[in-house]
Structure 1
Amino acid sequence: MAVEVAYATPERQLMIPVSLKANSSVDQAIEASGILREFPEIDLSQQKVGIFGVVCNLDKTLCPEDRVEIYRPLTQNPMDARRGRLQK
């Protein structure tokens, strides 16, 4: 089964295609992708993951063609950012 694992920083975006056995989990896809070696700052015990923008657990079973996304922590509260833009 083919899936992608994606992670992005402000400077760099990486999408890694991975081939897995059927009924593989999000955690297995992340491990197989090698993305943790590319971005050692990723801490899966703290950061959320999802599939196509929907947050899920690491043990979620994947479907073919899923895109696993690793989300960075927010640096600013979205409501505060919106207020700041409106004040300008």
Structure 2
Amino acid sequence: MLSLEVIFATPESQKLYCIQVEEGATIQTCIEQSDILSDYPEIDLATMKVGIFSQVKTLDFEVRDGDRIEIYRPLIADPKAVRRKRAEQLKK
């Protein structure tokens, strides 16, 4: 059995699920087994990115013992545009 974590955060809260799965499990299998989808119905795996330790992965990626699966929310603002705007304001 592999031990790993599944995590999701909103602006208001974050939740960490510690689960155990069999070897050969995929990210999607782990997310489904963690029951996070019932706690956060807004999670749409068809459109949201997932990853392991900040590295974007596909849902069929095979997990390893100790992995932390992260579900990423869409960005509200483009980080490059925010930096450009901040730089322009500093010039003034």
Task: Give TM class, smaller chain.
Answer: over 0.9
Deviation at 1:58, TM superposition (A): 0.4
CA distance in structure 2 between the aligned counterparts of 1:49 and 1:42, rounded to whole angstroms = 11
Output the aligned Cα RMSD. 1.0
Aligned residues: percent identity?
A: 43
Q: Which runs of structure 1 show a deviation greater than 4 angstroms over 4 or more consecutive aligned residues?
A: none
TM-score by length of 1: 0.94
CA distance in structure 1 between the aligned counterparts of 2:61 and 2:79, rounded to whole angstroms = 27
Alignment length (residue pairs): 88
* 1:71 equivalent in alignment to 2:56: no
CA distance in structure 2 between the aligned counterparts of 1:81 and 1:36, rounded to whole angstroms = 31
Which structure 1 residue ranges, 5 or more long, are not aligned? none
CA distance in structure 2 between the aligned counterparts of 1:84 and 1:34, rounded to whole angstroms = 40
Matched with 2:28 is 27
